[in-house]
Amino acid sequence: MSTQAKRATVYLRPELHKALRLKAVETSTSVSELINKAVRETLVEDAEDFAAFEGRAGEPLISYDEMVKRLRKDGRI
């Protein structure tokens, strides 16, 4: 772990904590490393989602009813 890491208190449900401890042992990593990786992956996914939303910002909006009609017409539902 880097010397610049920040300490935080996180309260986990007992079953999640147990699963994390078991995975840490099986993968020879620490619980902190597993949590850091999960948080980092979530933030990357969020950034990708925001970029996709921004890229589609200029598209016209349609109602939910219109979308269902289009899907039915195209045979997708």
pTM: 0.66
Confidence tier at 1 by pLDDT (50, 70, 90):
low
Q: Taking residues 24-45, what's their average pLDDT?
A: 97
Dihedral sign from CA coordinates of 50, 51, 56, 58: positive
Residue 2 has pLDDT above 90, yes or no: no
Domain boundaries, the chain: 14-73
Range 8-13 contact pairs with CB under 8 angstroms and sequence separation of 24 or more: 10/35
Each residue's pLDDT tens digit, 51-77 = 999 998 888 899 999 999 999 999 999
